Structure 1
Amino acid sequence: MIIAIDGPAGSGKSTIARMLARRLGFNYLDTGAMYRALTWKALQDGADLTDANALCQLMDQTAIEFRGKNDGMQIWVDGVNVTEKIRAPSVTNNVHYISNASSVRHRMVKLQQMFASGGNVIAEGRDMGTVVFPHADKKFFLDAEIEERARRRHDEMRLPDGEISYADVMKDIEIRDKRDTTRDNSPLRKSDDAIYLNTTKMSIEEVVARIFEELEPVVKKLDVYKE
C-alpha cells in the first residue's frame, strides 16, 4: 500500500507522515530529504548548481540511502549520515536548483518509486499524488494559512545562540510557495482525488485522527492497524 501526503512548507506533512508510519509500521519516505541530500553533495563538491547536466552526472555517481524505519529514518549519502547536515541554511537556500532541474527530478522519481516497491509506504513531498505515485491507494493534501505555517516553522528553527525572526521565516515560506507552485516541473498542486485538510486550527493528534478515519477501512485489511 502507498499513502501519499503532499503540501506546502509548514503544513505538518512531515510530522504527520512520521507518526502514521510509526503507528502503521509502514516505511517512511521523506522525498524532500532526497533533494536536500543531493544539494548537500553538490555543495560539498563545488558543483555548478545551474548546470543540469552536471547535476545529473553527480546524481548518477551518488548513493542516496535511507536507513532505519519510521520516525527513526536517517538519510545517508555515499556512506555519510547527513540527516542533520541537510537541514543547514546553505542547503535550504539552494535546494530549489536541484528540485527545478527536470532531468534530476526524473531520476529522483525513479529512485522514489524503487524505494516504494519494497513494501507499505507513507510518502510525503510536493508531487507524491500527482507525479510520483499517481495511483496511490490514498492521497492527502495538507495545508494551512501561511501565518500558521510560518509560526510552526519559526518555532522549529529557533536556535539557542540566536533568534530567527518570524518575518524572515514568513518571507522564506512565501518564496518557497511561489517556487513550488510555479515551477515548470512537477509544481505543487492538489491532485483531483486527494483529500484536502486545512490544519490551521488542528492539533497534530487531530490531523492524525482525521486521516485514520479515511485509512482505517483500508489498512485493517492489511492486518497492520494498531489501536
Structure 2
Amino acid sequence: MNKLHGNIAIDGPAGAGKSTAARLLAQKLGYLYIDSGAMYRALTWKALHQGIDLADERQLVALAEATTIRLENTAAGTVKVYCDNEEITAAIRQETVSHHVSTVARVPGVRRRLVELQRQMAASNRVVMDGRDIGTNVLPEAPYKFFLTASLEERARRRYQELIASGRPVDLETIKEEIRRRDAQDSQREVDPLQPAPDAVIIDTTNMKVEEVVAKLLELIQAHHGVNTPAGEPS
C-alpha cells in the first residue's frame, strides 16, 4: 500500500472547527500540524505588546520581518506557539488579540512574510495546515483541499463554550457579533480573501461532531489517494 504523501489544506471561517479537526487529522496520519492563524495571532500579540500603531502598515511589515515565530507539536497533540523564543500559546488567545488579528492579517507585507514561513514549514509535503487562504494562496498545489463552514449561530456557540470552559466570562451575543465582523473583514479584504479554493471540498460542520468531521476528511483523502485504510489508521 502506498504511503500517503502530499500536503492537506483546510480553510474556513472562525468557529467552523477547522483547527481541532486539522490537529486530530494530522495525529491520525502522522503529519505535522501547522496552525497558520496562530502565527498571525503571535504577530498581533507582539505588536500590541510593543504598543505599535496597528494602522501603520510599514511598522507591522517591519515587525513581521524581524520576528521569529515557531510552532511545536507536542506528544500530547497540542501546539505550542513561540514568538522570538518566548512561549505565548495562551497569550495569543486573549480577547484583545482576537479583536485585532484581522487588522494585522490583512496587511499585504505581513501576509507575504508569514506565507513565506508557512511554505518553508510545508516543504516536507506531509503537513496539515489550516487557515483562511491555505488552499487558495499558501499551498495552491496541495492535492487535498477542504473548506469547513458552519452557521453563524453554531460557530458562536462553539466559541462561547470554548471560552467559558477556559474560565473567561463572555457574552454569546458579543461573540456572535465579533465573528460576524471578522467574517466580513476576512472575506472582503483585498489580499487573499477568505474563500474556498475552486477545487476544495466544502463541508458544512453545523450538525457534525469533530470526530465525524475527521472521519469524513479521512474518507475523502483515502478515496482520492485510492486506498481503503480504515478510519483512524495511517495509510
User: SS where residue 122 of structure 1 aligns?
Assistant: strand
- Preserved contact between residue 27 and residue 120 of structure 1 (Cα < 8 Å): yes
Structure 1 unmatched ranges of 5 or more: none
Alignment length (residue pairs): 226
Tell me if 1:34 matches 2:43.
Answer: no
Q: Are residues 1:87 and 2:80 paired?
A: no
Match of 1:65 in 2: 70
- 5+ residue gaps, structure 2, are 1-5
Counterpart of 1:122? 128
The aligned runs of 1:35-50 (5 Å cut-off) are 35-50=40-55
What SS does structure 1 have at the residue aligned with 2:124? Answer: coil
Residue type of the partner of 1:18?
A: R
Q: Which residue of 2 aligns with 1:174?
A: 180
Specify the alignment match of 1:101 in structure 2: 107
Letter in 1 for 2:173: A
* Cα drift, residue 225 of structure 1: 4.6
TM-score, normalised to structure 1, is 0.93
- d(CA) in 1 for partners of 2:26, 2:15: 19
Distance change >3 Å, CA 199–CA 79, structure 1 → 2: same
* Amino acid corresponding to residue 18 of structure 2 in structure 1: K
CA distance in 1, matches of 2:157, 2:22: 20
Contact kept, 8 Å, 1:28 with 1:69, in 2: the verdict is no
Q: Partners in 1 of 2:83 and 2:163 — Cα distance?
A: 24
Pairwise CA distance, 1:68: 2.8
Under a length normalisation based on structure 2, what TM-score does the superposition of the two structures give?
0.90
Runs of 4+ in 1 over 6 A off after TM superposition: none
Structure-1 residue corresponding to 2:234: 226
| Equivalent position of 1:185 in the other structure | 191
Using the alignment, how far apart are the partners of 2:144 and 2:166 within structure 1? 39
Q: Residue 199 of structure 1 corresponds to which residue in structure 2? A: 205
Q: Is the 8 A contact 1:49 1:55 kept in 2?
A: yes
The alignment-based identity, stated in percent, is 41
The 8 Å contact of residues 27 and 119 in structure 1, kept in 2 or not, is answered as no
For the 8 Å contact 1:138–1:215, the answer to whether it is kept is yes
Question: What is the aligned-residue RMSD (CA, Å)?
Answer: 2.1
